[in-house]
Amino acid sequence: MKVWEATDLHGFPVRVEMATPHGPMTIEYKDVSLAPPPASLFTKPENCMTMPGMSGGGRLQN
């Protein structure tokens, strides 16, 4: 695996190349911002319903 890290982004990986069983795969991140995201991104939409039995957010329990 090869990883390119941006020094001006405190080592954030901006490109990753790796071999997979299905062939080579490349991941590139562009327009990266390390600024905190706006709180509005984490507000539940008005038309969103809470589903019963979904507590834990789908995380696996040990």
The tens digit of pLDDT for each residue in 8-58 reads 999 999 999 999 999 999 999 999 999 999 999 999 888 988 888 756 555
Nearest to 5 by CA among 23, 20, 27, 38: 27
Determine, yes or no, domain membership for 25: yes
How do strand 23-28 and strand 2-6 relate by DSSP bridges?
A: unpaired
Determine, yes or no, domain membership for 59: no
What is the predicted pLDDT for the residue at 53?
A: 75
Determine, yes or no, domain membership for 50: no
What is the predicted pLDDT for the residue at 56?
A: 59
What is the predicted pLDDT for the residue at 44?
A: 87
DSSP string, 15-32: EEEEEETTEEEEEE--S-
Query: How many domains, in total, are found in the chain?
Result: 1
Supply the DSSP symbol for 7.
Answer: G
59: pLDDT strictly greater than 70: no
Task: Round to whole Å and give the CA distance between 10 and 35.
Answer: 12
Range of the domain at 13: 2-31
Under 8 Å between Cβ of 15 and 3: yes
